[in-house]
Amino acid sequence: MAFISRGFHGRRPSAGTKLPPGQYETTGFPVLSAGPTPRIRKDDWQLSVTTETGKRHVWDWAGLMALPADSPTVDLHCVTKWSKFGTQWQGVSLDVLLADVETSAEHVLVTSYGGYTTNVPLADLVDGKAWIAYGYEGGDLAPEHGGPARLLVPHLYLWKSAKWVSGIELRQSDVPGFWETAGYHNYGDPWREQRYQGD
Amino acid sequence: MTSVEPGGSEVNDTDAGYVDGNALAGPLSEVFAVDVTTATSRCANCGCTGPLARLRVYKHAPGLVARCQQCGSVMLRATRTRDAVWLDMSGAVSLAIPVGET
């Protein structure tokens, strides 16, 4: 038996230029999850950014909604080999959230409601490359896809786009997350097919 | 519902997104000489014990994630990379695997 859920309804694309190596296009939106789906009420939701000195910045839902929003359209690439093109999101750029955060950290450990973690270099979360996304295709982001809000880092494999995001920990040292400690690549660039450690 | 995994184990599907621990039998047979789903494990978080077959296994994921049937903590993770099986059992205090008497 394969350990990996390969996704659903896959087919080979007619034009493969947008497709990283080893991927196939899907028009569905497969739900992958390592545990039960947390149901977080917007009234209870919080996102914290914690610096390497311990300083904590916290946004509640109203605070997040008060920030300027982007509407990125991006392609998604899951390490289980499906890719989905042209997904439309609404969310707040990490550049906005981190604008007033003083840090010299280079590493980030992202934490989620439900206990999931993943690590990303800080450089990959800034300069218009990442969002805290709360809207998908014109509606609220559904809980099974990470709602009320998830990280969206579309240039890396989708396991880096932590669902149900709750914390951004800025760190001096790199700490591997949930899948990174279980054989998956520390960085996860789909265009270099960095699926597993050693790739 | 009940389905049969490749390898012959019966797996009970639920509507909650997980299946029971029998789903571990096929993948782990690649590295274990015995059927570990009959082994008794102890959860490192809540201390409850039971057969691996009773764990809640989330398999629509980059690997298999088996959670304690009592407290939901991750007890075991198994992923298959190109050339290795990665097994994390840090969420289990112990695993008692039935073998023949000496």
Closest Cα in chain A to B62: A4
Determine, yes or no, domain membership for A11.
Answer: no
Q: Closest to A32 (Cβ–Cβ): which among B60, B64, B67?
A: B60
Task: Indicate yes or no: CB of B62 within 8 angstroms of CB of A80.
Answer: yes
Determine, yes or no, domain membership for A153.
Answer: yes
Judged against a pLDDT cut of 50, whether residue A7 lies above it is answered with no
Determine, yes or no, domain membership for A100.
Answer: yes
Q: Quote the CA–CA distance of A165 and A48 in Å, as a whole number.
A: 9
Judged against a pLDDT cut of 80, whether residue A176 lies above it is answered with yes
Give the closest-approach CA distance of B57 to chain A in angstroms.
Answer: 8
Q: For position A13, what pLDDT does the model report?
A: 44
Q: Is B15 helix (H, G, I), strand (E, B) or coil?
A: coil
Closest Cα in chain A to B61: A32
* Pairwise pLDDT comparison (A5 vs A39), residue with the higher score: A39
Q: Closest to B79 (Cβ–Cβ): which among A115, A183, A199?
A: A183
Pairing of strands B92-96, B40-43: antiparallel
Determine, yes or no, domain membership for A171.
Answer: yes
Contact (Cβ atoms closer than 8 angstroms) between residue B76 and residue B87 = yes
pLDDT digits (tens, 9 = 90+) for B55-90: 999 999 999 999 999 999 999 999 999 999 999 999
Q: Quote the CA–CA distance of A32 and B56 in Å, as a whole number.
A: 15
Q: Quote the CA–CA distance of A117 and B72 in Å, as a whole number.
A: 16
Q: For position A177, what pLDDT does the model report?
A: 98
Task: Indicate yes or no: CB of A183 within 8 angstroms of CB of B18.
Answer: no
DSSP result, B62-102: SSEEEE-TTT--EEEEEEE-SS-EEEE-TTEEEEE------
Give the A:B interface size as CB pairs under 8 Å.
Answer: 74
Determine, yes or no, domain membership for A109.
Answer: yes
Judged against a pLDDT cut of 60, whether residue A10 lies above it is answered with no
Q: For position B17, what pLDDT does the model report?
A: 86
- The pLDDT-based confidence of A112 (bands split at 50, 70, 90) is very high
Judged against a pLDDT cut of 50, whether residue A119 lies above it is answered with yes
Annotate chain A with three-state secondary structure.
CCCCCCCCCCECCCCCCCCCCCCEECCCCCCCCCCCCCCCCCCCCEEEEECCCCCEEEEEHHHHHCCCCECCEEEEECCCCEEEEEEEEEEEEHHHHCCCCCCCCCEEEEEECCCCEEEEEHHHCCCCCCEEEEEECCEECCHHHCCCCEEECCCCCHHHCCCCEEEEEEECCCCCCCCHHHCECCCCCHHHCCCECCC
Q: For position A12, what pLDDT does the model report?
A: 45
Closest Cα in chain A to B5: A1
Q: Which domain holds residue A114?
A: 44-192
Contact (Cβ atoms closer than 8 angstroms) between residue A35 and residue A115 = yes
- The pLDDT-based confidence of A54 (bands split at 50, 70, 90) is very high
Q: Where are chain B's structural domains?
A: 2-96
- Structurally, chain A folds into a number of domains equal to 1
Q: For position A102, what pLDDT does the model report?
A: 96
Write down how long chain A is: 199
CATH number, domain containing residue A104: 3.90.420.10
Probe site for chain A from B18, B24, B60, B69 (most A CB atoms < 10 A): B60
